[in-house]
Structure 1
Amino acid sequence: ILRVFVWVVACITCFGNVFVICLRSCVVSENRHHAMSIMALCCADCLMGIYLFFIGTYDIRYCGEYNRHAQEWMESIQCQLIGSLAMLSTEVSVMLLTYMTVEKYLCIVFPFSPHRAGKKQTLFILITIWVLGFIIAVVPFFYKDSFGNYYGRNGVCFPLNSDQTEKLGASIYSTSIFLGETEPCGT
């Protein structure tokens, strides 16, 4: 069942997000800045669908023999790259949702304020979010001494949780990222 649903979710995720991107590109919106944010969010979510396609592909490759190849898989560059792709998708999605929430909150609380993000400001914020997400995703590649096999801690190549064998730097990094996701204002 899991093997089938990886493919189903990957297809729905990619198709749904590409559909929204195409629809948002064709239909003129009143709030272009919000539409840009939604399309950026769809791109980030589509990356998660691509990640799921890769997981499904490698699941087929190692079908019935995973235990024999588990260590080799988790230490492979493919696992590291798709793990960083999933991290990029997750982090960018969370930051974009936070930005969109704050933007809508300010529109509701201060409806007559002349200070609204223009096209350049919105584009700058979106690019900054993507760059920051990329940096978060690739930092473990540049500090192997502190992170070890950061993305290869499990079979899905995503640092879901820390364990006692994880290096201290990786543990602090994971904890700060995942706590930062759930509490973006630091409260």
Structure 2
Amino acid sequence: MPSTDGISSSEDLLANGILRVSVWVIAFITCVGNFLVIAVRSLIKAENTTHAMSIKILCCADCLMGVYLFSVGVFDIKYRGQYQKYALLWMESVPCRLLGFLATLSTEVSVLLLTFLTLEKFLVIVFPFSNLRLGKRQTAVALASIWVVGFLIAAVPFTREDYFGNFYGKNGVCFPLHYDQAEDFGSRGYSLGIFLGKFHL
């Protein structure tokens, strides 16, 4: 059983009541809020349809994080009071790895989409009379490319387990936090690369 890491304890996947409540509240707000935005954007006709499409896609990416948080909450209930017996099995399981993949996909796609939307607005403001705006087809290609890139970033750790180890199974919530994994250079280096990439974006 791994030592307590501030997230999980020897008894519970989520170590304290504040974490448990926060996971459910944030998951609910994330899913409901983004579904409402998608619904409103779909019902109300927008003048800028490409921007509306980008916002709806961003909401979809954010909803994945809500699904991840709901799932963590469910597994916390499942292992409540007996997490110590199942900790290693859980962290090495397929559901844990899939949840880690889902969380990484959500964060990467969200960051890339926000960068795309920022650049789009920048061009409109700085060059208001130019033809630098993307059309509907180009926007669709850009959005699809962002999802592909996000998927690849999240999937890379599955390709070389001898190098990355159990990338998504280092903690109970299956999120790739490798700040204290000095012996696992591959996982730590990849996590650092992702973090620095987000920081520069």
Name the TM tier (shorter chain): over 0.9
TM-score (norm 2): 0.88
Q: Which runs of 5+ in 2 are unaligned?
A: 1-17
Q: Report whether the alignment pairs 1:28 with 2:12.
A: no
Query: Would you identify which runs of 4 or more consecutive aligned residues in structure 1 move more than 6 Å?
Result: none
Deviation of 1:116 (Å): 1.0
Alignment of 1:40-119 (within 5 A): 40-119=57-136
Deviates most, 159-168 or 69-78: 159-168
Cα RMSD, aligned residues only: 1.1
TM-score (norm 1): 0.95
- CA offsets, 1:43-65, max 9 Å, x none? 00000000001000000000011
Q: C-alpha distance in 2, partners of 1:124/1:73?
A: 38
Q: Which runs of 5+ in 1 are unaligned?
A: none
Deviation of 1:179 (Å): 0.5
User: How many residues are aligned here?
Assistant: 184
Q: C-alpha distance in 1, partners of 2:28/2:181?
A: 36
Deviation of 1:165 (Å): 4.3
SS of residue paired to 2:137: helix
The aligned counterpart of 1:154 is 171
Q: Report whether the alignment pairs 1:141 with 2:140.
A: no
The aligned counterpart of 1:131 is 148
Q: C-alpha distance in 1, partners of 2:161/2:198?
A: 24
Q: C-alpha distance in 2, partners of 1:66/1:88?
A: 27
